[in-house]
Amino acid sequence: MMKKNLLLWLFVAIILIWGFETFNTAGDSVGNKNDYVAFKEELSSGQIKSVKIDGRTINAERKTGEKFKVIIPISDQDLLPKLEEHKVQTTGVLPEEPSLLLSIFISWFPMILLVFVWIWFMRASQGGGKGAFSFSKSKAREFREDEVRTTFVDVAGCDEAKEEVKELVDYLREPEKFQKLGGKIPRGVLLVGQPGTGKTLLAKAIAGEAKVPFFSISGSDFVEMFVGVGASRVRDLFAKAKSKCPCIIFIDEIDAVGRKRGIGIGGGHDEREQTLNQLLVEMDGFDGNEAVIVIAATNRPDVLDPALLRPGRFDRRVTVGLPDIKGREQILKVHTRNVPIAEDVDIKKIARGTPGFSGAELANLVNEAALAAARKNKNLVSQNEFELAKDKLLMGPELRSKVMNEKEKINTAYHESGHAIVGRMLPGFDPVYKVTIIPRSRALGVTMYLPENERLSYTKDYIEDTIATLFAGRIAEEIIFGENNVTTGASNDIERATYWARNMVIKWGMSKKVGPQLMEGEETENYLGGSSSSLRAMSDSSQDLIDSEIKAILDHNYSRAKEILESNIDILHAMKDALLKYETIDSAQIDDLMARKPVREPSDFNPVSGSGSDEDSNSGNKEAKDNAGIENGNPETVSVPKEGSKDGEDRDKPVKPSQDSF
């Protein structure tokens, strides 16, 4: 492609040079083959036999038969008399006057050439025909049958979704099988799921399995600032699809064009709504024998127009949810097919340690592990690289350049030890996976928990254990340093604990005094990525009751956590010492501490640096999921994988807090 463009530009340059030389230096190309003074001397001496005068050019012939040319430099009035005097045969040539059309062409040729060059450049910069000359044409990318190589083998972790769409493949391969029994395949399939769950990959797999053309376009590609362009593009897209049927049209992020009507500017007559209207018409205008299936993807089905979701249009809704532990294992196997992994890599262990990860995040995990191994000049990716990559994605990269003084280190060590001890002592809570006082992302220290089993809902006991664990870091500071020396590091812990307690009272019916009634108003997005609700209008006594119940829950679990730490003060001190020595301790070392045994050293512990991790802190950053803000200079980070959440469920249900950070 580069050579082709270079040759094209070289050709244009040659044409420009030729035109300039032809039309601006006409006549100057005739060489002065003989000196004019010498010519006149030869004329005076009688050596010239004949001349032919053409403007300022003289074609002369000597008596010896030799011919030559000479240019008259200035007007010479004595030339003709001398020619007559020496009886030289003289002829003249009338000047040839160009035609009117040729004169116009010569004068306008440079401008015409520049216009054509500009048009070519504009078309090339806009994708070869996708510019002004085809402004209303569809921007969909068309893939032929042999160009889509993705199949169901490449899609893992969403077995239920694959089963839902397999009959689409059968219909596209053998439509007569369904038509002879009067069956009608769904004209539109809506793939719903969180970002990164594989909706686009699943749509490509359908086309790859069915071996049919595949048209791919984003919802935002329809809408332009010019009214009517989007509707025209919709018509053009469906016209192309009908000429290639059976085929699949895939519209990614359809909520960009399919939002509910009547809320736009200008009374609902804006460009987006016209585009949506045309889309509704095209989807409802299929004939019975046209095997054109529209597949759309979105993670916001709640904002779509009801007319788009009615039977006859998108009449089938397939949920592509987050994978469970078995699905994560399958996804990891797919992404490690082309990665040389060591024998010690345990895919099941990695899958268990990544709850709430989507398929895209698992692919990123494998890539980060491969990059970590490449930085160490390894030939195989080991389990250690996968663990480092997992910690990096969950907690953020290590920030060893963020230097803490000794007092801050001790405070952070006690804080994280409090979280770990209370979390371990509560039998219904998730096991403690790792504790570190190495600054990561925006956190000075992190305590990580990993669930033993997948959870789709949470009990009252589990939520109260969560609140007690959140308070444990502040309580550890209070026990060791006193009430007047606690830091702002627990601000995010307090915020999250209050969130759980408040929803227990006003939404989840977990308060005996308030009872199972909804005490909320309009929904707003909360800091955990879900939705929270403001209190509705109610009496002062009801508000006081809600406040007192929230405080009672918080106080009860604060007391529980404090009692646990005070009765295990020796473990608190021992864990602090271990964190100051190793900076990071894992579950095996925590087991030693809880059993009041000597702490084993990490396998990769470096006594010189005091670090048990060799992760490159200058590598790329993916911060821990769902970060909270910064208060009084103490950064805090929250990682909250939404394990088991599905579209259509209550988005405000308690989400598993997988780490506590200082």
Q: Which residues contact 184 (CB under 8 A, 6 or more apart)?
A: 178, 288
DSSP state of 310: S
- Does residue 389 contact residue 368 with C-beta atoms inside 8 Å? yes
Pairing state between β 523-525 and 292-298: unpaired
Token pair 């020796």 is at which residue?
570
CA distances from 213 to 7, 59, 86, 427, 478 (A): 34, 72, 89, 55, 66
253 belongs to the catalytic site = no
DSSP state of 489: G
- Tokens read off for 180: 């002879």
- What's the rounded Cα separation, in Å, for the pair 68 and 27? 17
Spell 636-650 as b/e; 16+ CB within 10 A means b. Answer: bbbbbbbbbbebeee
- DSSP lists the bridge partners of residue 141 as 216
- What's the rounded Cα separation, in Å, for the pair 499 and 628? 13
- Strand ranges (DSSP E) for 549-635? 584-586, 630-631, 634-635
Residue 318 sits at φ, ψ, to 5 deg, of: -115, 120
**Which member of 271, 273, 282, 416 is catalytic?**
416
- What's the rounded Cα separation, in Å, for the pair 74 and 129? 56
359-375 and 325-335 helices cross at what angle (nearest 10)? 50
Between CA 157 and CA 165, with CA 159 as vertex, the angle to 5 degrees is 125
- Does residue 330 contact residue 156 with C-beta atoms inside 8 Å? yes
- What's the rounded Cα separation, in Å, for the pair 124 and 322? 42
Other C-beta atoms lying within 10 Å of the C-beta of residue 265: 10
Q: Which residues contact 418 (CB under 8 A, 6 or more apart)?
A: 472, 473, 474, 475, 476, 477, 561, 565, 572
Between CA 442 and CA 447, with CA 445 as vertex, the angle to 5 degrees is 115
Q: Which residues contact 565 (CB under 8 A, 6 or more apart)?
A: 418, 421, 422, 472, 475, 476, 479, 572
Question: Residues with catalytic annotation?
Answer: 416
